[in-house]
Each structure stands twice: as structure tokens, then as C-alpha cells.
Structure 1
Amino acid sequence: MILAATTNENLANTANVLVYSSMAIYTLAFFAHIVEWVLGSRSKVGRTAAALTGAGAAAKATATVEVRTAEKENGGGTAVLERPKVITRSAAGRRDVPDGPGAAGGTFKGDLYGRIAVSMTALGFLLEAAGVISRAMAVQRAPWGNMYEFSTTFSTVAVGTYLAFLLTKKNVRWIGLPLVTTVLLNLGIATTVLYTDSDQLVPALHSYWLWIHVSTAIFCGAVFYLGAVGTLFYLLRDVYESKVARGVTVGRAWASIMERLPAAATLDKFSYRVNAAVFPLWTFTIIAGAIWAGDAWGRYWGWDPKEVWSFITWVAYACYLHARATAGWKGRKAATLALVAFGCWLFNYYGVNIFVTGKHSYAGV
């Protein structure tokens, strides 16, 4: 490997080793997640059509029994209620369905392998983060000056955001399997097709805006990705719930997977909230890029392909958020629009840098 004279070769090689090591650990996490889903049993509740349509009544009856019991225990006084099990309502308002028991399906072995998978994911995250930091130290700059560095940093932030959700007790372990799968694909492409030797930046990138603009773009992309996973699962789960509610026979294996996911309404709410929360930051990312363009090229907006697709992505997410807040566009229509918006972000990430020539063509591919 030939490195520039200003690059610390030892640190650069260490960064590569750490990234490859993280891929090995992520692979172990992938298999652990697979075992978690295989060993997990179906929900003990057994979500049949009758259970779907009668969930609300059953919950109401249970709550009534709890109230009467509490009244007796308190001598007829004020009832003390236990927190009821959360029953979520679908976006379309058709079904009240409890959340599934999770990937492990409520079994000890499934949960054990799930915890192992999360631990492996956390270890892979630490190794990859160390690789990103080592790369930055090797070249003494922000570690996202080309597509390879952007990809490794992006996957690190995506995994870190997922782990942060877990630390805040959010029920998002269902993201684990698709997350490590896509992270492995992303790193595989990064270390083969997109790999670029450690080197210094082109003059246009010598700015403090590199730290601000690109870092926010990476974080926004990571959160948009998690929202897209939730949206995709929402569509699958919503179709499943609709079929069961109509009494349509569903394959046992597919039903087992769907029943362990959160309810469609929960997935829909998760996706909407994360997309809505990060959208203002994506707006700031575009504004920061325009300010940087003014400093570097003497104009704030020049219809460069990267600028255009960043704006298209912004418009797509703005349309989704607007449609999601409109009664007629809740549910599957809005979810499809969210996936289209993330598709625009992906094209801006890969397509523009690889297939389109513009002022951002210094990305290293």
C-alpha cells in the first residue's frame, strides 16, 4: 500500500485491521440474530382473527376485573390500577393489536442468543469506531473525505444510534438483524469497490465546514435508515394483520416472524417520529452545505448534482411528513412515500458520487 508522506502508515494499517475485525464480529452478530429468530417461539397469545378483532374487548374486560379487585382490596375506596398492557391502534384505525413478544419470541434460548447478538453488535461497533478514529489520526483530518471513509463512518453511526435506542429501553431489538446485514453489505462494498488509500484532502475540502456539514449528513442518513427499516416492517406487518383480520390463511413460518414484530401501529409511529425528529437537522445540513459552497466556490447554489439530489431528498421527506399529518395519507400510502424518500437519499449517497460527474466528484471513486 502506497501512502502519502503526510500519512501515518502504521495508524492507517491499524484502521484497516480494525474495520476488518469489526466485520468479523458483525458476522457473528448476524448468525446470533438468525439463531434468535429461529429458536424464538410464536407468541403464546396466538394472534388469530378472533384475537385481533377482540383484543380491545379483552383488554377492557381485564381492566374491569382489575378495578373491581382493587376496590375490594381497598375496602371499596379508590382503586389502584396496575399499568395496563399497551394495545396500539393501527394508522387506519381498523385494528387494535398488541405488540409481538420480540425476535426471541419469549423463549429463554432465543433471548439468550439475542443478548449475545446485541453484545457482538456492540463489540463490532467499538472496533469500527476505533477504526474510524484511527483513520482520522492517520491523516489528521475528519475521517470522511471520500466514499470509503463516509461509508465506514455512516455504518458506525447507524449502529451507534441503534445501540443508543436500546440503552434508552426502547423496544427496537427487531432492527438488529436487518441492521447488521446491511452494515456488512455496506462495509463489504466500502472495503472492495470504494476503498481509497489514506491521503490528504483536495483544497476545496480544507474547511471547518467539513466537520459540520458532512457529520450532520452522516447522522441524518443513519437515522433515516432506521426509519426506513421501521417503515418496511410496518408495511409487512400491516399486510399480515389485515390478512389475519379477514381470516386469510398465512404461512406458519411467515406468521411466526410477523407475530414477533411490534404491532403495525407501533412500527408506523416509530418511523414517523424518527423521520420527523431528524428532518430539521437535514434542513440544516443543506443550509450548511450552501454556506460552505459560497466560501469554497463563490456561490451558494449552482445546481450541482449533489445539491440537486440533497434538495430532492428534502422535498421527498417534506412531502412524507406533510402527507403523514394529513388524514387521507396515513398508513401504507405515507409509508411508501417514506421509502421513496429514503431511496432518494441512497441515490444521493451512492448514485451521484459513482455515476454522476460534478463538483463533488472528489469522493474517491
Structure 2
Amino acid sequence: MPVNETLSQYSDWSYTTATAVYVLALVFFLIEQSFGAKGRVAAERSKARTRELVGAGGPPAAESVTPATPSPAGGRAERIGRMGVSLVVLGALLHLAALVLRGLATDRVPWGNMYEYIMAVTFIAVATWLVVLRKFEVRHLTGFMLLPVVILMFVGGTALYAVAAPVQPALQSYWLWIHVTAAIIASGVFMVPGVASICYLVRSAYERDETRFARFAPRLPAADVLDRVAYRATVFAFPLFTFGVLCGAVWAESAWGRFWGWDPKETTAFVAWVVYAAYLHSRATAGWRGTRAAVINILGFAVMVFNLFFVNLVTAGLHSYAGVG
């Protein structure tokens, strides 16, 4: 079936606009980080000082300490942060439109090459983060979440861009719907615990020693909140990733006559699976929490990024057709 060039063009425009909206939202969250958090930290210190005075037998807080009130600049920064969330929602809608239009233009699932795969993974990451925002008070972390999304979308839309076209014969299978879809959802969700774990290391280092990352860490959510976000997102993504790996083995047997051949992408996916399994196992049995668990989670995220770029674009293997174009 010929490609619908009009829908393909609309998809590209939606993708570009979504990227621009995410960049604007990132700027809004940076403003909130720079100005909104200062008033919050100062208020927390004022409350702590008040408790110390009262506990030491000083005069009541109402008589000795004037309650801290947010500065006008801090209030504006908070409003800008809320506007940033609205921009993320708008960007996600445009992002989804780009995916749908790409699929309609090619009459197939819109993840047949690296450009489309990155488009889908970043959309899942943003959608997952919007769900996290409804469950946890982590809006101040949104800028750090958007940064890798914007970088991936920029690289995908420039260096890895591919014109809309039918997929190669090797991908013309119903397993493209099953295997690749599971891999996309898992990879997108795994971005959330990866970023949360990195921020956890920074925040926990500050909580142990307030001289470390003193200008940056107080603006992050509490360490226990970051730990819960990372753990719950990993628990959700890991079964999907396992399902995707198993489906890939079945597809490999159908296409190449073997379930496993230690192809570079297969091997790297297996390594990532082992790392995330170790993370969940250590949390469930050994009670590993905190820094050690965060390091394992970050290692798994690093392997996923390595698998996405280096294995797809540098090494030669049976999955090389998933590269540019």
C-alpha cells in the first residue's frame, strides 16, 4: 500500500511541535526549580528553627517567630510549574497524534525503525510520568524527566529520522505488534525509575551530609519518595519486559529457526533482564533499599540505553535492520 504523504507530513509536524512544547515545559520547570524551591526550603528551615526554640523552652512560636510566608516570586514560580504540567499534557497529546498519524500514513504499527521506536518509547515515558504525577508529589522532578525525553526526541528527529515507508520483509509479522510493543512499553516505563534512582543518589547523599549537593539536592523530592517511585515503576515494567523477551525468542524461532542465538541485541536484552531481576530480588529477599538498590536500577537503565543506541547503530547482527531507516 502506498504511503499517505499528507498524513506523514502531519505526523512530522506533530512530532516537531511536541518536541518544542516539551522544551518550553522544561524551561518552565527550570524556572520553578530555580525560584520556587528556595522559598520552600527557607520555610522548612524556619519551621525547624521554631521547633528548636519551643523545644528548648523558648517563647511560643506565635510570639517569637513570624511564620514564613511564600514570597511573590516563589508563588509565581509555583504557578509556572503548574503551567509546565499543562504543557507536558499538551505535548503528550501532540506526541500521540504524531504516532497515530504515522501509523495511518503507512498502514502499519508506527514503530518499524529507530525514529519511530524512539517516538513511541518517549511517549510511553511521558505518559508514565503523568501517571506518577497523580500518585506522588514529584512535580519538581519533571524537568529531570523531560531532559532525556527531549534529547532522545531531538536525536530521533534529526540523526535517526526516517521517511514513512513500509517495513522491511523481516518485520512484516504479527509479532511486530506483540514483541516490539511490549519492548516499547517496558523501555519507556524504565526511563522513570532510571531518572528517579539517579536523583535518589543525589538526595540521599545530601540527607547524610548537608554539605554535599547543597545547592541542588534540597530541590528534589524526599529520598523515600524517589525510592518508592523507582521501585513501583520497575515492578510494573519488569513483567512486560520479560514478556517481550520471551516473545522475541518465539519470533526468532519462527524467523530464524532458533529461539536464542546470542545476537548482540538478544544478549544485551538478557543482561538488562538479569540486572532488573537482581534489583527486584534484592529488594524482596535481602531487603536491599536505598543506595545499593538505586545503583542496580541505574545499571539496568544504562544497559537499556546501551542496547537502544550502541547495539542498534554500531554492532552488526540479525537485528541490524532496526537501525536508521
The question of a shared fold, defined as TM-score above 0.5 by the shorter chain, is answered with yes
Correspondent of 2:169 among 203, 208, 219: 203
Classify the secondary structure of the residue corresponding to 2:321. Answer: coil
Distance 1:222 1:174, change over 3 A: farther
Specify the alignment match of 1:213 in structure 2.
179
The 1-side partners of 2:269 and 2:8 are apart by 31
Correspondent of 2:114 among 142, 147, 172: 147
Specify the alignment match of 2:308 in structure 1.
349
Is structure 2 residue 105 aligned with structure 1 residue 138?
yes
Taking structure 2 as the reference length, the TM-score comes to 0.87
The 1-side partners of 2:275 and 2:6 are apart by 44
Equivalent runs, 1:1-365 vs 2, <5 Å: 6-40=2-36, 41-42=38-39, 43-47=41-45, 107-166=74-133, 168-244=134-210, 249=211, 254-255=213-214, 257-327=216-286, 329-365=288-324
Classify the secondary structure of the residue corresponding to 2:214. Answer: helix
Task: Return the index of the structure with the highest Cα Rg.
Answer: 1
Unaligned runs of 5+ residues in structure 1 are: 59-103
* Bigger helix share: 2
State the Cα distance separating 1:256 from its structure 2 match.
Answer: 5.4
The 2-side partners of 1:205 and 1:25 are apart by 32
Q: Which has the higher contact order (CA 8 A, sep 6+)?
A: 1
State the Cα distance separating 1:45 from its structure 2 match.
Answer: 4.5
Residue identity in the other structure for 1:267? L
Unaligned runs of 5+ residues in structure 2 are: 56-70
Residue identity in the other structure for 2:99? V
State the Cα distance separating 1:258 from its structure 2 match.
Answer: 2.3
Residue identity in the other structure for 2:142? G
Runs ≥4 in structure 1, deviation > 6 angstroms?
Answer: none
Instruction: State whether residues 47 and 259 of structure 1, in contact with CA within 8 Å, keep that contact through their aligned partners in structure 2.
Output: no
Cα distance per residue 1:298-334 (max 9 Å; x no partner): 2211111111111110001111222233547432122
Cα distance per residue 1:35-74 (max 9 Å; x no partner): 11122124245359x959x99xx9xxxxxxxxxxxxxxxx
Residue identity in the other structure for 1:232? I
State the Cα distance separating 1:364 from its structure 2 match.
Answer: 3.5
| Worse-matched range after superposition: 263-272 or 193-202 | 263-272
| Worse-matched range after superposition: 258-267 or 134-143 | 258-267
The 1-side partners of 2:73 and 2:259 are apart by 55
Instruction: State whether residues 14 and 134 of structure 1, in contact with CA within 8 Å, keep that contact through their aligned partners in structure 2.
Output: yes
Instruction: State whether residues 29 and 140 of structure 2, in contact with CA within 8 Å, keep that contact through their aligned partners in structure 1.
Output: no
Classify the secondary structure of the residue corresponding to 1:325. Answer: helix
Cα distance per residue 1:2-59 (max 9 Å; x no partner): xxx71111111111111111112112111111111122124245359x959x99xx9x
Residue identity in the other structure for 1:39? F
State the Cα distance separating 1:344 from its structure 2 match.
Answer: 0.7
How many equivalent pairs are there?
Answer: 304
Cα distance per residue 1:240-272 (max 9 Å; x no partner): 00003xxxx45xxx5354223222122112212
Name the % identity.
Answer: 40
The 1-side partners of 2:141 and 2:178 are apart by 28
State the Cα distance separating 1:174 from its structure 2 match.
Answer: 2.8
